[in-house]
Structure 1
Amino acid sequence: MTARTSTTATPATEETGHAGEEAVLDVGPVAHGGHCVARHEGRVVFVRHAVPGEKVRVRLTDAGDDAKFWRADVIEVLEASPDRVEHFWRPADSLRAWVHGHPPVGGAEFGHITLARQRSLKAEVLAEQLTRLAGLEDVPSVWSGGVEAVGEGHDGGAGLGWRTRASFSVTPGGKLGMHAHRSHHIVPVQEMPLASDAINGLRLWDLDLQGVERVEVAAPANGSRPLVLLAPAPGTKEKRLRGVAADVQGGASVAAFDPLTGGVTQLRGRTWVQESAAGHEYRVTGDGFWQIHRDAPGTLVGAVTEFLKRGEFLHAGAVVADLYAGAGLFTGVLADAVGETGSVLSVEGAPGTSRDARKNLHSAPQVEVVQGRVERVLRQKPRNFDAIVLDPPRAGAGKAVVGQLVSSQPRAVTYVSCDPASFARDLGYFRRSGWELAGLRAFDLYPHTHHLETVALLTPGP
């Protein structure tokens, strides 16, 4: 690819230390978090929007004199990698954004790299986390070593249009926008290429969003009614929010929501969406958790059940648990597998999402839905589990929960993770308790970003 020459403009924000200065760097290996590692005058610099092996000119964005490391964005490519391509989205393209004096939006930080190379970089990050944090000496033999593509039947291999959920900010002038990475700067947007046609079709960028701080959108892959959530700015009257809601097109429901409490107030239509996966229907209220890639629910359910059934841990009459269960994606499938002679304990901490799970699973008598912290529920409801499905938030399960799981002595645990660092850390806890990694798959559920999803099978050692 021909290198693009960039010229920096006046900084968008007040800077401290060496922020705003430029440097020429040789780019080293990829690091967890969407960066590559480089060095400048003996100091580590985490560089975004580069490809390993390139020579680039960067703008230092976080470069205090006392900082252990600095951060930088690429503004010019001097020697390009053969894996570099032109970014598909102008607001997320570092080379273009800095010409206009501001950083690019986040959310598509790998969009300048071929999809094949993106996946190999993600595999490198996962392998490094497994050796450094989990204590494995080498890439485990139970993993292929690769990150599997998902959804190519829908996107033609472009890695676009997969998001069924999207989050936006609002500029001071009331226009739809997105935050730049690690910045308060909001860049106006008029499309989101990673989002589904149903989200882009709402044309929220045409609205006057004054009085709104944040906008969340959910557009289920099954084609059911989308939901637009408006987080009001302090002091905004409900009348103003209803005015915005009236301007939303596409037949979407609209509700106001409080990001701190999760409270939802109906403005138009429903306060929930109807999702479909693995033969079940799921109601998800407000900004309750649901996998954002259109093909993620089926992919993850398939991987989890394949691991558990292969080891004969999931069968009619089995006793299983779904921890951090959300609206019950895995719970419903587990209930099908164990039948009415088995039992499923479904645990979720968020009250609203737990209420959704009760509605979604009310017809399955073998399911007990409990709202509360996982560690507390496990203490209150000890059982001899055949299998446990563990799908924690990005921070992972943590040492205390892993200790409780080990103490409960299940026959197997499937661990679903969206963060390789917290997964590898928790895997280390399991291994130090004598458990083994019996299976591992990695999926590219977030094309053009640094994120990946893993599904692991863990079993007690002999």
Structure 2
Amino acid sequence: MTKKDWTGRTLELEVGAVAHGGHCVSRSDNRVVFVRHALPGELVLAEVTEDNGGSFCRADAVQVLRPAGERVTPPCPLAAPGGCGGCDWQHASPNYQLELKSKVVAEQLQRLAGIEREVRVEALPGGPLGWRSRVRLVAGRDGRAGLRAHHSHDVIALDDCPISIPGALDDALDRKWRPGTEIEVTLDGSSRSHLRELTTVKGKTRGRQLIGGTAFQHAAGRDWRFDAHGFWQVHPDAANTFASLVGEWAEAPRGGRAWDLYAGVGLFASVLAGQVGPDGDVLAIESGYQAVEDGRENLADLPQVRWECGRVERLLEAAEKPVDVVVLDPPRKGAGKAVVEAIVAGQPDRIVYVACDPAALARDVATFAEHGYGLTDLRAFDAFPMTHHVECVALLS
């Protein structure tokens, strides 16, 4: 049977529901078409950009024949078909973006975890523009720094980026770079700029610090100093918001035991340490060596926090049990079955799960349910406005 290849073909499509990943679902000739730059209910002409010949293909809406009432003019001219792939929803009003993301989180919970739940994604302070504090750029053939097009190696050169904090990218955009160079930009909480050049030789990536190197932040009532290019929340208000909610839901008992998994530099560990007090115990596990070193320095005044560097599922095998509460903030792929089972072995009363991908969260929630842990509460935040990403905090018990 000959596979279909519609690449380059233009289709007239009635746009259906929003889907996880920054696109909407449509159908043509019994095939699913995932359409970017469209909104539910619109009639569009869409050009097929990717087609592997299976049951679906991908397309960009190149002309809107019947616009939705929530459509707006994107604040960035590069947020268009063939343009920058960094933003997904600039063509939707800010309030409608929250609605779209709410539907995505609810759909993932229903489809992957069998949970019917109304979700409301909450905006963080500051509005949809000028929030991004950390960006990885790449130099194009002309040496100018930019971002890649969606699902492409093509580099779209930037003069500015409306979702980044004003001035954050100036040091990177004012230079010419060797083509293919990746550039990491960070603007910390004290408005200090940090710039690192990344080069890959024989599969090994090395960084060369050009400006700065040590970031300063204030969150959860503490001052923090750490590697500027290590993990920290991208939105300026995210760290405080999530730390506050984690503290509210964790309720670690005085003198109790808590685990902070994928601990970074210890943001949540500091909250848990305050709850268990000096007679309690907080085990902070993080795989990044530099983050662990930074965490030990930042929390040196909290001896109840013990640091371990390595893989979560392996280190939990030897961890003291039972544990009262577990907080985890895994990478985008989620915790996975092995980590979930290692957590369950600790018999925690509560689990607070911070997730940057609703699909990964839903899969892990389903695995927790197999071991008797149900979803007690959930809040979702628009920590990445204009993009399809959303941050969720879930309480399981």
- The two structures share one fold, judged by TM-score above 0.5: yes
Residue 184 to residue 265, structure 1, CA distance change in 2 (3 Å)? closer
Corresponding residue for residue 83 of structure 1: 70
Corresponding residue for residue 124 of structure 1: 103
Unpaired segments of 5 or more residues in structure 2? none
Residue 421 to residue 345, structure 1, CA distance change in 2 (3 Å)? same
- Separation in 2, partners of 1:322, 1:57: 49
- Separation in 1, partners of 2:238, 2:228: 20
Whether 1:63 and 2:51 are equivalent positions in the alignment is yes
- Separation in 2, partners of 1:126, 1:266: 38
Runs of 4+ in 1 over 6 A off after TM superposition: none
- Separation in 2, partners of 1:393, 1:126: 17
Amino acid aligned to 1:150 = L
Residue 232 of structure 1 and its aligned partner are, at CA, apart by 2.8
Whether 1:146 and 2:113 are equivalent positions in the alignment is no
Residue 58 of structure 1 and its aligned partner are, at CA, apart by 0.9
CA contact (8 A) 1:147 1:444 kept: yes
CA contact (8 A) 1:283 1:327 kept: no
Matches within 5 A, 1:15-94: 17-64=5-52, 66-94=53-81
- Secondary structure (helix, strand or coil) at the match of 1:187 reads strand
- Secondary structure (helix, strand or coil) at the match of 1:305 reads helix
Aligned partner (choices 150, 153, 159) of residue 190 of structure 1: 159
- Separation in 2, partners of 1:409, 1:227: 42
Amino acid aligned to 1:221 = G
Residue 78 to residue 24, structure 1, CA distance change in 2 (3 Å)? same
Q: Write the deviation string for residues 249-278 of structure 1: whole angstroms up to 9, x where unpaired.
A: xxxxxxxxxx955x544445x432122211
- Separation in 2, partners of 1:78, 1:267: 48
- TM-score (ref. length: structure 2): 0.95
- Separation in 2, partners of 1:401, 1:173: 45
CA contact (8 A) 2:142 2:179 kept: no
Whether 1:349 and 2:287 are equivalent positions in the alignment is yes
Aligned partner (choices 248, 255, 261) of residue 306 of structure 1: 248
Residue 234 of structure 1 and its aligned partner are, at CA, apart by 4.9
User: What is the count of residue pairs matched by the alignment?
Assistant: 394
Aligned partner (choices 207, 226, 237) of residue 175 of structure 2: 207
Residue 362 to residue 35, structure 1, CA distance change in 2 (3 Å)? same
Matches within 5 A, 1:104-119: 104-119=83-98
After alignment, is 277-286 or 414-423 more displaced? 277-286
Corresponding residue for residue 3 of structure 1: none
CA contact (8 A) 1:264 1:271 kept: no
Whether 1:231 and 2:198 are equivalent positions in the alignment is yes
After alignment, is 390-399 or 432-441 more displaced? 432-441
Whether 1:435 and 2:373 are equivalent positions in the alignment is yes
Aligned partner (choices 98, 112, 134) of residue 165 of structure 1: 134
- Secondary structure (helix, strand or coil) at the match of 1:46 reads strand
- Separation in 1, partners of 2:190, 2:113: 38
Residue 173 of structure 1 and its aligned partner are, at CA, apart by 1.2
Percent identical: 41
Residue 121 to residue 171, structure 1, CA distance change in 2 (3 Å)? same
Amino acid aligned to 2:133 = T
- Separation in 1, partners of 2:173, 2:193: 16
Aligned partner (choices 250, 272, 288) of residue 230 of structure 2: 288
- Separation in 2, partners of 1:233, 1:172: 17
Matches within 5 A, 1:416-455: 416-455=354-393
Residue 222 of structure 1 and its aligned partner are, at CA, apart by 3.2
Corresponding residue for residue 6 of structure 1: none
